Amino acid sequence: MVKKTTELKRILHSKALDFFLEAHNGLSAKIVEEAGFPGVWASGLSISASLGVRDNNEASWTQILEVVEFMNDNIKIPLLLDGDTGYGNFNNVRRLVKKLEQRDVAGVCIEDKLFPKQNSFINDERQLLTSAEEFVGKIKAAKDTQKDSDFCVVARTEGFIVDRSLEETLERCVMYSEAGADAILVHSKLSTPDQIIAFEKKWDKHCPIVIVPTSYAQTPTSVFEKLDISLILWANHLLRASILQMQRTASQIYHDHSTQNIDNLIVPMKEVFRLQNVEELKTAEEIYLP
């Protein structure tokens, strides 16, 4: 069986454009896998939102780790953790990588902002970049810590999010790649892929490129295929789908004082049991219970 780390590395380096979908708990991770995706994006935004907190490192890193453990235990495909800024400095990154490897997580993405981070789509002045040098130290620390040479460290630049120039963003990413990053994630909050296209045209490193087309979701996927993008992260869509469905269901039940009119909004109980793999426990009981 191929290791999750090796599979993630293969996906990043394959010629084809691949897609990971977001998940935020064990159940949604399983749903991503069953849909056919080759990997899971463990989104910081989605995990924190599902815990009822903001995407500002309000959930501690060990609380995130606990959720990630449930997610990764429930899937065979690789999981790429959105590790925000690494939850501190290089030393926190080292400990994070150690704990992720102990849990068989395939890789981590860290971004060049300051801790505590702010979500990239919230416009305010606290979107602050760290120095390229400090971030290079984090990448090197992560790569020096990992024991499995296939564990992947994705370096994410928020250069465009904080309105830095193409030149500076490129310069940063060259440094990140040279520091050992296995891939570069270039984020943009524009409604068009213009920054990504401009970046990709000048990017002459072999390091694969990952993008998150949330704000420029209307762009046809063929555009990214031609651009030589390696991996697309659909970063928050199961969270947003579940919010809508839960709101509809809650409101219907509230207004009806009944659950009679919601069958088209919910799955049958047997689907819950299937996703929990109840059958396996029944079989095991036959073997192990007197």
Q: Which residues are catalytic?
A: 55
CA–CA gap between residue 157 and residue 101 (Å, rounded): 23
- Cβ nearer to ligand SPV, comparing 135 with 150: 135
Phi, psi of 101 (to 5 degrees): -65, -40
- Cβ nearer to ligand SPV, comparing 139 with 150: 139
DSSP 236-257: SHHHHHHHHHHHHHHHHHHHHT
Only one of the segments 116-124, 173-181, 222-230, 280-288 lies at the binding site for ligand SPV (rule: CB under 6 A); that segment is 116-124
Choose which of 11, 23, 40, 45 interacts with ligand SPV (CB under 6 A): 45
Phi, psi of 156 (to 5 degrees): -105, 130
Which 8-state DSSP code applies to residue 229?
-
213 lies in the site for ligand SPV, by CB under 6 A: no
Rounded to the nearest angstrom, the gap between the alpha carbon of residue 114 and the centroid of all alpha carbons in its chain is: 18
x-or-dash pattern for Mg ion, window 9-48, by CB under 5 A?
-----------------------------------xx---
Rounded to the nearest angstrom, the gap between the alpha carbon of residue 182 and the centroid of all alpha carbons in its chain is: 15
Tell which residue, 115, 51, 106, has the closest CA to residue 87. Answer: 115
- Cβ nearer to Mg ion, comparing 18 with 82: 82
- Distance in Å, CB of 241 to ligand SPV, minimum: 14
Tokens of 47: 């995990």
**Which partner in ligand SPV, Mg ion, none is near 230 (CB below 5 to 8 A by kind)?**
none
**Longest pairwise C-alpha distance within the chain:** 69
- Cβ nearer to ligand SPV, comparing 192 with 259: 192
**Which partner in ligand SPV, Mg ion, none is near 74 (CB below 5 to 8 A by kind)?**
none
Residue 27, classed as helix, strand or coil, is: helix
44 lies in the site for ligand SPV, by CB under 6 A: yes
Choose which of 5, 25, 43, 146 interacts with ligand SPV (CB under 6 A): 43
Q: Return the H-helix or E-strand segment holding 202.
A: helix 194-202
**Which partner in Mg ion, ligand SPV, none is near 39 (CB below 5 to 8 A by kind)?**
none
56 lies in the site for ligand SPV, by CB under 6 A: no
119 lies in the site for ligand SPV, by CB under 6 A: yes
CA–CA gap between residue 106 and residue 9 (Å, rounded): 9
Choose which of 72, 214, 230, 242 interacts with ligand SPV (CB under 6 A): 214
Only one of the segments 85-93, 117-125, 132-140, 218-226 lies at the binding site for ligand SPV (rule: CB under 6 A); that segment is 117-125
Phi, psi of 240 (to 5 degrees): -70, -35
Torsion 248-251-254-255 (CA) sign: negative
249 lies in the site for ligand SPV, by CB under 6 A: no
Tell which residue, 164, 110, 98, has the closest CA to residue 134. Answer: 110
- Which parts of 76-105 interact with Mg ion (CB under 5 A)? 82
Give the interface with Mg ion as residue ranges (CB under 5 A): 44-45, 82
Give the interface with ligand SPV as residue ranges (CB under 6 A): 43-46, 82, 119-121, 212, 214, 235-236
